[in-house]
Amino acid sequence: MRVLHDTTHRAFPERGAVVTIGAYDGVHVGHQAVIGQVRDRASARDCVSVVVTFDRHPATIVRPESAPQLITDLPQKLELLADTGLDATLVVTFDAARSAESAEDFVREVLVGCLDAKVVIVGEDFHFGSHRSGNVALLRRMGVEHGFEVEPIALQARPDGVDEPVSSTAIRRALAGGQVETAKALLGRPYEVRGMVVTGDQRGRLLGFPTANVEIPNQMCLPADGVYAGWYERPDGSTHACAINLGRRPTFYEHADHSLLEAHLLDFSDDLYGEHARVRFVEFLRSERKFDGIDALVAQLKRDVEAAREALGA
C-alpha cells in the first residue's frame, strides 16, 4: 500500500480513484466493510482504491477539551489499512488551517485535484469541512460539476445484536467497561496497545510473578482497570500468553494517580527491558481490588495465572 502525504499534486494521473474519507480510528469491522466496497468498485472501474484519513484525530484540533482517546495511533492504523488490500492511503495533515477549510475547498483540493476521484463512498451520515458543513448532498452537487459519483452506504450493524451501528465510540465504551470481548467483536481482532517496557519497582519479581511494565502513551485508550488474559508480542514477532494487570495497585499504593499495565508472561523468564511490546486483551478475568496482605495477593495471582492459561489454551 502506498502512503501519500502531498495533496498538492495529482497522485494517479492515468487511472483516477475510488475514495472513502474518515478518521478510521480502530479500522473496525464497519470500516472494513466500507473499504471492501471501495476495493470492489475500484477493481470494476480499473481505478485505484484509496482511503483519505488524517495525521491526528480531528477532534484534537476542533474540540481538544473533549477529544477521544485513540484506539489506534497512526502507525498502527496504516498497518491495519494496508492489511485490507487497499492500493493507497492519503494522510492529510489536520491542523487549525485545515479545520477552518470549507468543505468545497477540501473537495477541490483533495478529491478532485489530488486524487481525481471517480467514485466517493461514505457513510450516509458523513460530515466534513469547517463546521461540518459538508455532507452527502454537497458531495453529490460537486460530483455533478467535477465528474465523480457519490455512493452513501448504511452504517454496519453490530454483530452482537445491539441496536446501534459499529463505531469507534461503541468500542471505546466497551473498553471503558472492561468488555474486551465486545471490543474484539467490533474490531474483528483483539484490542491491542503498544509501548516500551520500562523498569518498574521490581515488586512482581519479589512476589514470584515478574512482569513487563509497558508504558502506554497517554493519548491511547485503555480498558478498565482489572486483570485480563492476553497475548504479548515481542519485536521479533514471537507471541507469549500472559496475565495482564491494568490498574493502580491498591494493595501497595493508596493514591496512585494513573493506571499501569503489567504483563506477566507465562512460562517465560527472559529480559524484556527496553523493547517495544504489543499487548492484546482477550478476556476479562476480574476487577482490581485491594488485598489484606502479601499472602492473599500471591494466592490470587496464582489463580489469575491459571485462569489466563485456561482462557488462552496455553
Tell me which residues are annotated as active site.
Answer: 262
Distance of alpha carbon 304 from alpha carbon 244, whole angstroms = 9
Residue 23, C-alpha cell as written in the block: 478518521
Helix (H/G/I), strand (E/B), else coil: 268: coil
- Residues 204/262, Cβ–Cβ less than 8 Å: yes
Q: What is the CA radius of gyration of the chain?
A: 22
Looking up cell 452482537 gives 160
Name the residue among 203, 209, 177 with its Cα closest to residue 300: 209
Residue 68, C-alpha cell as written in the block: 477521544
Distance of alpha carbon 73 from alpha carbon 208, whole angstroms = 34
Helix (H/G/I), strand (E/B), else coil: 175: helix
- DSSP for 36-63, please give it: HHHHHHHHHHT-EEEEEEESS-THHHH-
Residues 6+ apart with CB under 8 A from 295: none
Residue 87, C-alpha cell as written in the block: 492500493
